[in-house]
Chains A and B, each alone.
Chain A
Amino acid sequence: MKRSKIMLIVAAAAAAALGLGGCTGGAASSGSSSRAEQIRYLINQPGTPADLAAINADLAKFTAESGITVKLDTLTTDTMRTVLQTQLRSGNGPDVFSYSPGPGFSGALAKAGLLKDLTSDYASRGWKMYDFAKNAVTEDGKIIGIADQVDLVGVFYNKDLFKKLGLSEPQNLSDLSNAADVIAKSGVIPFAVSDQEGWQGGHLLSMALGSRVGSKGIADLLDGTTPWSSPDVVAALNVWDQFNKASYLTPSPAAVTYDNANALFYSGKAAMDATGTWLISTIDKSAKFNVGFIPFPSDKGTGVFSTGIGQGLFVSAKTTKLPAVLKFLDYMQTPAHGLWQADKVSLIPAFAVDTSALKASSLFSQVVKTTSNIATAGGDFGVNIDVLTTDVFNKAMGDGIQGILTGQLTPNQVAQNMEAAYKKSAK
């Protein structure tokens, strides 16, 4: 009978929609008393109040340097989705906003003509994103935004524990299997895997599949050249199935929540945690041992990191403040800002920065450095599938992997379901 509801609401449709557009309350910058130009910037609700404070400080710095004030609005991730469309259409929306790239998100906006094409600005203003980052914000050959955060998905491992058990950093899939075996025999859970919330499945598949077929393989799957029912996909799913059956994962992973699984890793009850770099700041605080981060390996070698562009910055096609917005985007891509991102809010910048100047924890600087090195050397990255695919597909993928982990479905069945879902949403 309780009418209290939970989060994860998309529809909120109602949403704020125009409500937000009409809202002039909130923390309006006091500098707007002068005739300084003001742009409206909409972002996702930051994880912690401390993050929000850091962001506001950063924006204040921009205002001090450029004289342009920024009115910051925040919305929860899911509310944004329907809200944005209506806002941008009505012209009452933000001038620049942070949003997820991908067909269900910025892709949909781009198709509806609501985003400003930044291709020429990109060239003329000398912006420099990593290639994989640029690809994520390119739609129909046009650059429609700048990548704001890079997330890598891979395997964190307890270096101290590995050393104690005489294990070295796994160089390929069989190394990983053997390591898991040794760890299991010592009474520790090899992988802290959670899948209760459902989204983790997409990451698990992305890292195994990315390492197996590389970015080209994933691109082929995404555009339909290769079907999702193909053997590589089945093999990638199979890896997790086998690990689960061999008891290398947390028992009953579909019952374990994200936070509880991570707790196992921090307390040393699990040796490895297959998740993403967004967790690094928490790992720094909670894990009292040395932590390493490696890509999920493949049969043939060390594999590649799967990347996701967590957020991109996009510009409304209807903005009347274009010059100011472009200056803002310039600022967001300066090396100094990249360093700020890494230092203050633990986000990997989407362009190369001078890592020697990094004050962040060693794990994080290492990750930023590694990303930078791989990217500049032209190395390959995998992709977080769920950002680039439709909801219907993601549901099939998420449900499917949960089904594998509970033993209800086989990898083959799941691959078939994913292909069927892909075909259904491609219509």
Chain B
Amino acid sequence: MTQSSRISELRRDDRQHKEGFVPNRISPRRRTALIGRHVILIGLALLFFFPVLLIVSTALKTAADVTVNPFGLFSSFSFENIVNAWIEGHFSEYLLNSFLIAAPSTLLVVILSTMAGFTFARLPFRGRSIAFYLVILGLLVPFFTYMIPLYFELRGIGLLDTLPGVILVLTSGGVSFGTFFMRAFFSELPIELEQAARLDGCSEWQIFIKVMLPLVRSGAGALAVFTFIQSWNNFLVPLLYLPGGSFRPLTMGLFQFMGGHSVEVGPLAAGTLITILPVLALFLVMQRQLTEGFTGAVKG
């Protein structure tokens, strides 16, 4: 086989894979590799998914079954746990509260981190390193180190027990990772792009908005998903900084099933499903962003 025809064959196989139809002129070696790959993937996927199945099974069991036979997989069927969580457990309210808390903080984190990520990757100025380290410091300090002083501070400035207060706390918590994350994406963009744009007469701001920003779209999308998950699943911050019980989110709702010695596992599993559904929905919507990478300009 000549070199060029070999390349074309490889390219063809690739294209066919990308286009999603099963090639019928595939070499046996490739076929085995293909099957092998799927076998491994399916095996791992099953292993990964098994615990999730357990949760689903528990959410759909009868309450009595959960107490006597917590380990059983789909040993009974009932919606009572879900109803219990939704109504008596007030999960319908908590769902809304979780959105009110997580959505604004995610938006803020992504915006601020993208701006900062770009700055730290591409806009040199004196003192930039120090600022960067201060921001990154947040990744190295566990939250419980400063959560008590933060409480007293919030109280002092009147932000305790308020929605904006909680949103700001979550935002400041998320920008450390966010900045670090976006900076990595901006770092990957070649410096030639910037230089070319400058030669074309773009201002620094235009370079940011028109050239750089669109290229990190998928990174920003990924960050949005991760930040949303963190804010959505965050338990400590609402517990501490919304002591009055207003705006109680889903995580605290889950917590209410853990009073006393026992854990009400049935409603907890049901509550967990309610809690993760919006996140999964977000993931599905954003998953293209998450895996697209950045194409186009980079190769050219």
Contact = CB atoms under 8 A, between A and B. Distances in A.
The answer on direct contact between A and B (beta carbons under 8 Å) is yes
A263 B251 CA distance: 26
B64 A285 contact: yes
B148 A25 contact: no
A5 interface: yes
A19 B247 CA distance: 14
Is the contact region of chain B dominated by helix, strand, or loop, or is it mixed?
A: helix
B244 A13 contact: no
A4 B251 contact: yes
A6 B143 CA distance: 13
Residue of A50, A259, A266, A278 with most partner-chain B CB within 10 A: A259
A46 B233 contact: no
Interface string B82-101: 00000011000000000000
B255 A4 contact: no
A26 B245 contact: yes
Contacts of B143: 3, 5
B151 interface: yes
A19 B244 contact: yes
B282 interface: no
A20 B68 contact: no
B148 A9 contact: no
B187 interface: no
B236 A20 contact: no
Given A1-B177, A15-B151, A282-B262, A260 B255 contact: no
B155 interface: yes
A294 interface: no
B243 A19 contact: yes
A47 B259 contact: yes
A338 B246 CA distance: 34
Interface residues of A, number: 45
A121 to B, nearest CB: 30
A359 B148 CA distance: 47
A263 B239 contact: no
Given A14-B151, A19-B243, A2 B262 contact: no
Nearest to A12: B240
B173 A3 contact: yes
Interface in B57-111: 64, 67-71, 88-89
Contacts of A19: 155, 160-161, 243-244
A76 interface: yes
Interface string A19-46: 1101101100000000000000000111
A11 B155 contact: no
Residue of A5, A13, A48, A286 with most partner-chain B CB within 10 A: A5
B230 interface: yes
Residue of B69, B229, B262 with most partner-chain A CB within 10 A: B262
Nearest to B154: A14
B259 A45 contact: yes
A17 interface: yes
Interface string A250-274: 0000000011101100110000000
Contacts of B132: none
B263 interface: yes
Given A11-B148, A46-B259, A282-B67, A259 B265 contact: yes
A279 B67 CA distance: 12
A45 B256 contact: yes
Contacts of B259: 44-48, 76-77
B260 A278 contact: yes
Given A4-B251, A11-B148, A15-B151, A285 B258 contact: no
B207 interface: no
Contacts of A15: 151, 240, 243
A379 interface: no
Contacts of A22: 161, 244
A18 interface: yes
B151 A23 contact: no
Contacts of A266: 67-68
A221 B213 CA distance: 70
Given A16-B244, A23-B245, A263 B68 contact: yes
Given A5-B236, A13-B151, A14-B152, A25 B68 contact: no
B13 interface: no
A64 interface: no
A4 B244 contact: no
Residue of B70, B155, B261 with most partner-chain A CB within 10 A: B261
A50 B177 CA distance: 42
B194 interface: no
Given A25-B246, A49-B88, A14 B255 contact: no
B173 to A, nearest CB: 7
A23 B71 CA distance: 42
A5 B261 CA distance: 19
Given A5-B236, A286-B68, A258 B262 contact: yes
A7 interface: yes
Nearest to B265: A259
Contacts of A20: 243-244
Interface in A200-228: none
A3 B233 contact: yes
B202 interface: no
A263 B65 CA distance: 10
A4 B70 contact: no
Interface in B157-190: 160-161, 173, 177
Contacts of B89: 49
Given A3-B173, A48-B264, A285 B67 contact: yes
28 contacts: A2-B229, A2-B230, A3-B173, A4-B251, A5-B234, A6-B235, A7-B235, A11-B147, A14-B148, A14-B240, A14-B241, A15-B151, A18-B155, A19-B155, A19-B160, A19-B244, A20-B243, A23-B161, A26-B244, A44-B259, A45-B259, A46-B259, A48-B259, A49-B89, A259-B70, A263-B69, A263-B71, A266-B67
Given A16-B244, A26-B245, 11 more contacts: A4-B234, A5-B143, A5-B235, A11-B148, A17-B151, A18-B155, A45-B259, A49-B88, A258-B262, A263-B70, A286-B64
Interface of B: 64, 67-71, 88-89, 143-144, 147-148, 150-152, 155, 160-161, 173, 177, 229-230, 233-237, 239-241, 243-246, 251, 255-256, 258-265
